[in-house]
Amino acid sequence: MRLPRLFLSLILPLTPLLAFSAKVDTLDVPSAAMKRNLRAAVVLPESYAKSKASYPVLYLLHGGGGQFSDWLKQTPDKMLLHKLADQYNLIIVTPEGDRLGGYLDSPVQKDNLFETYIAKEVVEKIDNTYRTIRDRKGRVITGLSMGGHGAMYLATRHPELYCAAGTMSGVMDLNYKTWRIDPNFETQIKPGFARILGTLGSTPDYYAANSVVNMVDRIKANGQKLIIDCGVDDFLIEPNRELHRRLVYNRIDHDYTERPGGHTWDYWQNSLPYHVLFFTNILKANGAVVQ
């Protein structure tokens, strides 16, 4: 396969006084399927430039209403991804999702194909641009809120691509009637969901069919490693508890954590290092780490 032309540019100036010297590329990752120009940030650990090794890749998805650069710009500690990339020697990729963050090939909006984009086009582009471990054993995925949905959803539907998946404060049930929200917020999010999943309550029920909470059989068959967490004050805590209970009931291995806090960047900044620790253990067991 011919390598697509590279567009690498520095998204964030590195603070020279810091010990962390991970490098961040902003990479054009166009979607042929959607005929759209989209970008991703790629955090390369300091060791990458000096090494000839192939690196494991962590895909890290943003939430609804967000964009690819969120994980670099919204965390209280702006160097969080740099530090984690350096400390654990892995590449972190933050791709662009749909504005709502559906991360699926919409059955309704025909040019909304973010499952194809993230799981096929982005992975190919990253694997063709960087020295990566081009195998599920070196590829993991997580995300926050709608990005938690995206990570679990894509990993469950593409077990050949990812050996492990995570979710923080994730939308484990797309049926927003299961969320603890007030009517105003519901009114606000309704059109976005209708755009990609049709009207809630229609037949066929695309909300149910695409919700992680209903994919337990597939999750069991896949046997991937899973890390799930949510804040006890999060409006999404109940669907997360429901998923945990269904996994326990079906004896499906997973890490499940409840922590203080709600749907905030403080929560996600705190949560991400636990996910990276979790993934690193798996990557090590897979022989997919750079020493």
Minimal distance in Å, beta carbon 100 to a copy of itself? 23
Site map (CB under 8 A) of a copy of itself, residues 118-157, x = contact: ----------------------------------------
259 in contact with a copy of itself (CB under 8 A): yes
Q: Are strands 23-28 and 8-10 parallel, antiparallel or unpaired?
A: antiparallel
What is the footprint of a copy of itself within residues 181-220 (CB under 8 A)? Answer: 208, 217
- What SS3 state is found at 128? helix
Contact 212, 152 (CB under 8 A): yes
Minimal distance in Å, beta carbon 205 to a copy of itself? 8
Nearer CB in complex with a copy of itself: 62/275? 275
Minimal distance in Å, beta carbon 178 to a copy of itself? 7
Minimal distance in Å, beta carbon 168 to a copy of itself? 13
Contact 291, 285 (CB under 8 A): no
Contact 29, 64 (CB under 8 A): no
- Name every residue whose Cβ is closer than 8 Å to that of residue 82 and which is 6 or more positions away in sequence: 14, 18, 20, 21, 22, 24, 43
Residue in 235, 256, 262, 264 binding a copy of itself, rule: CB under 8 A: 256
DSSP, res 137: G
Contact 229, 152 (CB under 8 A): no
Minimal distance in Å, beta carbon 257 to a copy of itself? 4
- What SS3 state is found at 94? strand
Nearer CB in complex with a copy of itself: 160/253? 253
CA-CA distance, 26 to 28, in Å (whole number)? 7
- What SS3 state is found at 280? helix
Residue 4: CB atoms within 10 A of its CB come to 14
**Angle at alpha carbon of residue 67, lines to 64 and 70, rounded to 5°:** 100
223 in contact with a copy of itself (CB under 8 A): no
What is the footprint of a copy of itself within residues 266-285 (CB under 8 A)? Answer: 270, 273-274, 277, 281
Residue in 36, 177, 190, 218 binding a copy of itself, rule: CB under 8 A: 177
Nearer CB in complex with a copy of itself: 94/270? 270
Minimal distance in Å, beta carbon 6 to a copy of itself? 35
What is the footprint of a copy of itself within residues 231-250 (CB under 8 A)? Answer: 232, 238, 242, 244-245, 248-249
The partner residues of 31 in beta bridges, in order of sequence, read: 36
Rg (C-alpha) for the chain, rounded Å, is 18
21 in contact with a copy of itself (CB under 8 A): no
Binding site for a copy of itself (CB under 8 A): 177-178, 208, 217, 232, 238, 242, 244-245, 248-249, 251, 253-260, 270, 273-274, 277, 281
